[in-house]
Amino acid sequence: MGAVRAIVSLGSNIEPRAEYLARALDLLSGMPSTRLVKTTPVEETEPIGVPAEFSHMKFLNQLAVFETRLEVHDFSVRMHAIEDALGRVRTVRNGPRTIDIDLIDFGGMRLDEPDLILPHPRAHERPFITRPLAMCISGE
């Protein structure tokens, strides 16, 4: 398989937020047959769709573009293992998280499976994805 462009969204709303983003990028870049091509600037954003008790917890968000020779499911499994390694706990839907890593696009692939939908079904609703994604696509 040739190299595929994978676009990943990263977010954190538990301190140290910037360190979680940086560590996640390092670990993603260290995946086999994968290299980091580009990142967008980190931006602080308001939470979207979180329970009211967490609405004060702002996120740091960033997009990263990778080239990978990994198969999409392998890439996704490794991505979620990185979340686990960085202490991601899934107890409350849309609750606080050390790191959230979402696969936004994988070489233009379209998938609709229980654990993986591509392109990401809610990316277009999230300005912290759409703005930086436009920068990535335009080559800025």
pLDDT band at 114 (very low <50, low <70, confident <90, very high): confident
Which own/partner contact pairs does 85-88 have at CB distance under 8 Å and 24+ positions apart?
85/27, 86/20, 86/23, 86/24, 86/27
Against a cut of 0.75, is the pTM above it?
yes
Per residue in 15-71, pLDDT tens? Answer: 999 999 999 999 999 999 999 999 989 999 888 888 888 888 999 999 999 999 999
The arithmetic mean of pLDDT across residues 120-128, rounded, is 67
Close Cβ partners of 71 (under 8 Å, ≥ 6 residues apart) = 1
**Radius of gyration, CA atoms only, the chain:** 14
Name all domains of the chain by residue range, CATH numbers in brackets: 4-138 (3.30.70.560)
